[in-house]
Amino acid sequence: SCLTPQTAMLYRFNGSPSKSLKDINTMIKQREQT
């Protein structure tokens, strides 16, 4: 099934800003709390 933003977050080595990883960490934390 094709990925949509709701199903996964992406990061590219030497290509994405550090903020992308911060967003992933935030998403993981939020999902843990729900």
Partner 1 sequence: AQECQNLEVERQRRLERIKQKQSQLQELILQQIAFKNLVQRNRQNEQQATRSPPANSVIHLPFIIVNTSKKTVIDCSISNDKFEYLFNFDNTFEIHDDIEVLKRMGMACGLESGNCSPENLKVARSLVPKALEPYVTEMAQGSINSVYVAST
Partner 2 sequence: KEVLERLKYIKTDIEDLKLKEKELDQQKMWLQQSIRSIMDRTYGGRFTYVTHEDICNCFARDTLLAIQAPSGTQLEVPVPEKGHCGQKKYQISLKSRSGPIHVLLINKE
Residues at the contact surface with partner 2, assessed by CB under 8 A = 3, 6-15, 24, 27-28, 31-32
Q: What angle do CA 33, 20, 5 make, to 5 degrees?
A: 70
| Near partner 1 in 2-21, by CB under 8 A | 11, 13-14, 17-18, 21
**Radius of gyration in angstroms for the set of CA atoms belonging to the chain, rounded to a whole number:** 11
d(CA 1, CA 22): 26
Q: Which is nearer to partner 1, 6 or 18 (CB)?
A: 18
Q: Which does 1 bind (CB under 5 to 8 A by kind): partner 2, partner 1, none?
A: none
